[in-house]
Chains A and B, each alone.
Chain A
Amino acid sequence: AQSVSQHNHHVILSEAASLELGCNYSYGGTVNLFWYVQYPGQHLQLLLKYFSGDPLVKGIKGFEAEFIKSKFSFNLRKPSVQWSDTAEYFCAVNEKGSGNTGKLIFGQGTTLQVKP
């Protein structure tokens, strides 16, 4: 069965530090890839997505992610985090070309705490 693995469960950084959150998936076919963010007290919202083309995608608030097909990875990065980036981050995968194209599989999430 398809699965998504996020390696870091809880990350603590100081402001201005660089961020990289790992995400790996198990599906061997073509996929769409997403990062969602949930700020404290708010709903899940899309941070960025990859469907095709340039494997380096840019999202809101200075975030970017790189799709490396050979490594089945879609890591999230930000060069300099801010206190307002404190949130929970979820990687998600949707498989293409199957009978279940409407299903989004989420990782277990990474809690990011940024210290001012």
Chain B
Amino acid sequence: EAGVVQSPRYKIIEKKQPVAFWCNPISGHNTLYWYLQNLGQGPELLIRYENEEAVDDSQLPKDRFSAERLKGVDSTLKIQPAELGDSAVYLCASSLVDLANTGELFFGEGSRLTVL
């Protein structure tokens, strides 16, 4: 079974440029998450989708970050414009059932962003 697929794996851009990350979750997983992982830190939730609906986006900086999950499958995370502090790894994860009901997250390999 294919895992969570993310692209690109690495991206280097100059500040003020836009960037987008793409995620394809495991087939059949209705819950999708975007996490931010800074160097030396644990992942922090940016947004969670249940099918097409963003059910928790309280940690997403909405002035420059946006996300969508059209048709409840693939998702994209966009940053426009990027700032130096956005340099981090952006992780996508998916789960079959809600975490509170014995679910677990399956993570992709992440997209490492460097903003110069």
Contacts and interface: CB of A to CB of B under 8 A. Distances in A.
Interface of A: 4, 9, 32, 34, 36, 42-46, 49, 51, 90, 92, 94, 96-97, 100-109
A20 B33 CA distance: 30
Nearest to A46: B104
Contacts of B104: 34, 46, 49
B100 A107 contact: no
Interface stretch (B19-27, B35-43, B61-69, B71-79): B35-43
The 9 closest A-B pairs by CB, nearest first: A106-B42, A101-B100, A44-B107, A94-B99, A43-B109, A43-B107, A46-B104, A106-B43, A108-B42
Contacts of B93: 44
Contacts of A34: 104
Contacts of A42: 109
Interface residues of B, number: 26
Contacts of A45: 107
A92 B50 CA distance: 21
Contact of A102 (B31, B40, B91): B31
A50 B55 CA distance: 25
A44 B110 CA distance: 9
A44 B56 contact: no
B110 A100 contact: no
